[in-house]
Amino acid sequence: MDVLSQLQRQLADFLASLYREGFVDDQFTQLQKLQDESSPDFVMEVVSLFFEDCEKLVNNMAKVLEQQVVDFKQVDSHVHQLKGSSSSIGAARIRNVCIAFKTFCEGQNREGCLRCLQQVNHEHAQLKANLQSLFTLERQIVAAGGSVPAMQ
């Protein structure tokens, strides 16, 4: 099972790089721990839900921020939600951006908000790509007949 072990090693490395680069944090590990036989695709489900939410929120915020008079309260509540969900799934980078974002909202700084929005978008895209490749890898391993190593 040379291929399998290689894949598994690849997965481990990839995951480690994700942690290292701060895309995800402990919470993601927690999330992975929650996945078991009864819910084999739990992480993916949650993550895709998150992305869905995220896109919706980003669009909403973009709309609000485009307006002449920006309702920062609304933006703030969106950011709050985004921050909550990102910390729930352990999307550390997005969460960090959200923290900065919140500060700008409180300061009613439109420029900063827009910059943060862009950053969120960017991080979101990156995370999405990364996680997708992660899931692909996992699926490959499962397809190859192996099991995804449990996280410590």
Partner 1 sequence: MSLLHVFGFGLKVGHLLWMLCCWIVSVISTNWLINGGILETQACLLGDGGKMWLKCMEKVSGNSCKIHHHYYQYIGSKRVRKTWWRKLLVAWIVGWITVSVWIFWYMSSQAFEKRKETLASMCDERARMLQDQFNVSMNHVQAMSILISTFHHGKNPSAIDQRTFARYTERTAFERPLTSGVAYAVRVLHSEREQFEKQQGWTIKRMDSFEQNPVHKDDNAPKALEPSPIQEEYAPVIFAQDTVAHVVSLDMLSGTEDRENVLRARASGKGVLTAPFRLLKTKRLGVILTFAVYKTDLPSNATPNERIQSTDGYLGGIFDIESLVEKLLQQLASKQTILVNVYDTTNQYHPISMYGSNVSDDGLEHVSALNLEDPFRKHEMRCRFKQKPPWPWLAITTSIGILVIALLIGYIFHATMNRIAKVEDDYHEMKELIKRAEAADVAKSQFLATVSHEIRTPMNGVLGMLHMLMDTDLDATQQDYVRTAQDSGKALVSLINEVLDQAKIESGKIELEAVQFDLRAIMDDVLALFSGEAHEKGIELAVYVSVGVPEMLIGDPGRFRQIITNLMGNSIKVGIRPLGDKKILTFLLRKSGMMKYCALSLGLMGILSQFTKKGHIFLTVHPVEEVMDSIDVETESSSRNTLSGLPVADRRRSCAGFKIFNCEGSSHPLSPSSSDLINLIVSVEDTGEGIPLEAQPRVFTPFMQVDPSISRKYGGTGIGLSISKCLVGLMNGEIGFASIPDIGSTFTFTAVFSNGSSNSNDSKQQKQRIKNQCHTTPSEFQHMTALVVDPKPVRAKVSRYQIQRLGIHVELVSDLNQGLSSISNENRVFKMVFVEQEAWDKESSISAHFVNSIQKIELGFSPILFLLGNSLSSSRTNTATSGAYTLSIITKPLKASMLAASLQRAMGGNTGNPRNGEHPSLSLCNHLVGRKILIVDDNRVNLIVAAAALKKYGAEVISADSGKKAIKLLKPPHQFDACFMDIQMPEMDGFEATKRIRDMESNGHIPILAMTADVIQATYEECQRWGMDGYVSKPFEAEQLYQEVSRFLQPPSTANS
46 binds partner 1 (CB under 8 A): yes
Measured over the CA atoms of residue 126, residue 129, residue 133 and residue 134, the dihedral's sign is positive
Cα 21 from Cα 59, distance rounded (Å): 26
Minimum CB separation of residue 152 from partner 1 in Å reads 7
- A 10 A CB-CB count for 19 gives 16
Asked if 50 and 85 count as a contact pair (C-beta separation under 8 A), the reply is: yes
Which positions ≥6 away from 81 have C-beta within 8 Å? 53, 57
Q: Does 72 bind partner 1 (CB under 8 A)?
A: no
Q: Name which of residues 114 to 143 contact partner 1 (CB under 8 A).
A: none
Residue 27 binds partner 1 (CB under 8 A): yes
Residue 45: name the closest of 34, 58, 59 by CA: 34
- Joined together, the tokens standing for residue 79 give 């950011």
Q: Does residue 149 interact with partner 1 by CB under 8 A?
A: no
52: nearest Cα among 92, 89, 103, 99: 89
Residue 87 as a binder of partner 1 (CB under 8 A): the answer is yes
Tokens 């990102």 found at: 86
Q: Which of 2, 37, 68, 152 binds partner 1 (CB under 8 A)?
A: 152
Q: Binder to partner 1 among 2, 36, 37, 66 (CB under 8 A)? A: 36
Cβ 125 to partner 1, closest distance in Å? 18
Per CB under 8 A, the list member of 49, 125, 142, 143 interacting with partner 1 is 49
Q: Which stretch binds partner 1 (CB under 8 A): 6-14, 49-57, 110-118, 131-139?
A: 49-57
Residues that bind partner 1 (CB under 8 A): 19, 25-27, 30-31, 33-34, 36, 39, 42, 45-46, 49-50, 53, 77, 80-81, 83-85, 87-90, 92, 152
